[in-house]
């Protein structure tokens, strides 16, 4: 029986909105901002600090700084007092939290590598949401971004996600073999939700209301 749906998405494709509507229709808990909040709670740090390191690699400048801190005498003295929030420690907490969520079930989890962490679970359906580049830019503009900013975000955020997935899972994002469904969101959010629910229902062998 399907108890989990993960939603991986291209930036600007509407994946977060589809996940929200899906969770509402299924009556399941949505883990999107709530996932960031939980990670921050576990790490005892501000949500903003987590958001800056989710689904992206640390910058070269930061990686060099971290190497220095780990290898220097001053860094070894200060390490116990430093709460360094970076991609590595966020990923470790995400892995634990995602598996805890999966154990509870009845959850829609957005991104954060959840499809890759949970790829071997028989009770999970993994979905990838994508859209043509022009549609992603228009969607971001509708959220208030300038055209130049929307183009920049549509190009760079997915590049960062691809680098993150390559680093931590050693696959080329989106790694189609990890997904049961890949949906073009130009079909419309409601159609996307209907398609996912139909798939859950078909896999369960009963109608999901």
Q: What is the DSSP string of 50-117?
A: HHTTTTSPPPHHHHHHHHHHHHSHHHHHHGGG-----HHHHHHHHHHHHHHHHHH-SEEEESTTHHHH
Give domain status of residue 44, yes or no.
yes
> Would you state the pLDDT for residue 84?
64
> Would you state the pLDDT for residue 72?
46
Give domain status of residue 86, yes or no.
yes
Encode pLDDT of 159-205 as tens digits: 999 999 999 999 999 999 999 999 999 999 999 999 999 999 999 88
> Would you state the pLDDT for residue 76?
43
Nearest to 96, CA basis, from 135, 41, 47: 41
**Structural domain containing residue 167:** 4-204
> Would you state the pLDDT for residue 181?
97
Give domain status of residue 186, yes or no.
yes
Give domain status of residue 93, yes or no.
yes
> Would you state the pLDDT for residue 53?
85
Residues 6+ apart with CB under 8 A from 156: none
CA-based angle 22:35:165, to the nearest 5? 90
Nearest to 109, CA basis, from 56, 35, 38, 14: 35
Phi, psi (rounded to 5 degrees) for 146: -70, 160
Give the domain CATH number at 185: 3.40.50.300
Give domain status of residue 209, yes or no.
no
CA-based angle 164:170:174, to the nearest 5? 65
How many domains does the chain fold into? Answer: 1
Give domain status of residue 63, yes or no.
yes
Least-confidence region, from 84-93, 96-105, 125-134: 84-93
Average pLDDT, the chain: 88
Residue 83 binned pLDDT confidence (cut-offs 50, 70, 90): low
Give domain status of residue 127, yes or no.
yes
Torsion, Cα 138 187 172 197, to 10 degrees, reads 130
Distance CA 173, CA 171 (A): 6
Across residues 27-45, what is the average pLDDT? 96
> Would you state the pLDDT for residue 52?
87
Encode pLDDT of 110-153 as tens digits: 999 999 999 999 999 999 999 999 999 999 999 999 999 999 99
Give domain status of residue 177, yes or no.
yes
> Would you state the pLDDT for residue 65?
42
> Would you state the pLDDT for residue 85?
74
The token duo for 6 is 């993960």
Centre a 10 Å sphere on the Cβ of residue 196 and count the other Cβ atoms it contains: 26
CB 127 within 8 A of CB 22: no
Residues in the chain: 209
């Amino acid at each position: 029986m399907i108890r989990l749906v993960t939603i991986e998405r291209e930036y600007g494709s509407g994946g977060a909105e589809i996940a929200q509507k899906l969770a509402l229709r299924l009556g399941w808990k949505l883990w999107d901002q709530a996932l960031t909040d939980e990670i921050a709670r576990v790490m005892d740090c501000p949500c903003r600090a987590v958001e800056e390191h989710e689904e992206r690699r640390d910058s070269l400048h930061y990686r060099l700084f971290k190497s220095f801190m780990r290898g220097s005498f001053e860094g070894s003295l200060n390490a116990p007092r430093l709460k360094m929030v970076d991609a590595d420690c966020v990923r470790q907490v995400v892995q634990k939290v995602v598996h805890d969520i999966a154990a509870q079930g009845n959850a829609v989890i957005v991104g954060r590598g959840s499809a890759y962490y949970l790829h071997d679970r028989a009770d999970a359906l993994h979905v990838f949401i994508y859209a043509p580049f022009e549609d992603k830019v228009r969607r971001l503009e509708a959220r208030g971004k300038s055209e130049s900013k929307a183009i920049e975000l549509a190009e760079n955020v997915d590049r960062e996600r691809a680098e993150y997935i390559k680093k931590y899972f050693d696959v080329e994002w989106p790694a189609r073999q990890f997904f049961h469904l890949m949906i073009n969101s130009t079909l419309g959010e409601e159609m996307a939700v209907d398609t996912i629910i139909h798939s859950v229902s078909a896999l369960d062998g009963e109608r999901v209301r």
